[in-house]
Amino acid sequence: MADVRWTMTTETTPPKIYLHAGRDRRVQAGHPWAYSNEVRMTPEVKSLAPGTVATLHRVDGKPLGVGTVNPHALIAFRVFDGDADTVLDEAFVGARLARALTLRERFCDQPFYRLVHAESDGLPDFVVDRFGDLVVIQANTAGAERLLESLIAAVRAVLAPNAVVLRNDGRARAFEGLDSHVDLAEGVVDGPVDVRESGLVFRADVVGGQKTGWYFD
């Protein structure tokens, strides 16, 4: 894999989100979600745009991590990193993507796999499937949508694919107040693409097929 260096960007201080007293056990144990009934929904929190980057805190102010907030969704906060000082920018997304790629390359001898599986790879509600020189991305929440351009840039830098398809047509997006659409962010797709598994070659419709066009999960 090529050596990739990321340029850090300056961010404004993110807003602070507080949990109710006694509602911090799951997050402190490593769970990446905080539900709306666990978050102190102050008028300031309710006014935040869905997908806003924020830090999460216990009622006593202890920081629990950084992530994205959607005050209108059942899952109100999604933790991207346990360090509240982490900046969620292209550098962060690129590092997570590179880490995921290193792991897949240990076990896969061909570039056909699920490269990013949401929280499992530290990128909540993102799915990135790799079909050789073509990549399909799904951003399933407002937080993922907010960081989508950073992920596309990271995919270009790390993988240099010939085509990038955005399959933002999953049903979960409706629960986040997002629209449904399929776009081509890079290159050209003129029909089904090859998928190689266990010595066999299959064909996948990455534009109109179910989900990303193949069951890599």
CATH number where 154 lies:
3.30.750.80
Give the per-residue pLDDT at 3: 38
Tokens 């693409």 correspond to 193
The three-state DSSP-derived secondary structure of 115-153 is: EEEHHHHCCCCEEEEEECCEEEEEECCHHHHHCHHHHHH
CATH code: domain of residue 50: 2.30.130.10
Give the per-residue pLDDT at 11: 52
- Asked if residue 94 and residue 76 are part of one domain, the reply reads no
Q: Within the chain, what is the greatest distance between any pair of CA atoms?
A: 57
- Asked if residue 166 and residue 99 are part of one domain, the reply reads yes
CB 118 within 8 A of CB 129: no
Range of the domain at 188: 90-204
Containing 112, the helix (H) or strand (E) segment is strand 112-117
Which class for 175: exposed (0-12), middle (13-18), buried (19 or more C-beta within 10 A)? middle
Does residue 6 lie within any of the structural domains?
no
Radius of gyration of the chain (CA): 18
Of 54, 81, 108, the residue that ends a domain is 81
CB 100 within 8 A of CB 115: yes
Does residue 216 lie within any of the structural domains?
no
Of 81, 116, 137, the residue that ends a domain is 81
Of 56, 81, 106, the residue that ends a domain is 81
DSSP state of 37: G
The number of domains in the chain is: 2
Q: For the chain, how far is it from start to end, CA to CA, in angstroms?
A: 23
- Asked if residue 125 and residue 46 are part of one domain, the reply reads no
Residue numbers in the chain where pLDDT is lower than 50: 1-10
- Asked if residue 107 and residue 132 are part of one domain, the reply reads yes
DSSP, collapsed to helix, strand or coil, labels residue 113 as: strand
Does residue 34 lie within any of the structural domains?
yes
Does residue 5 lie within any of the structural domains?
no
Does residue 7 lie within any of the structural domains?
no
Does residue 211 lie within any of the structural domains?
no
- Asked if residue 62 and residue 21 are part of one domain, the reply reads yes
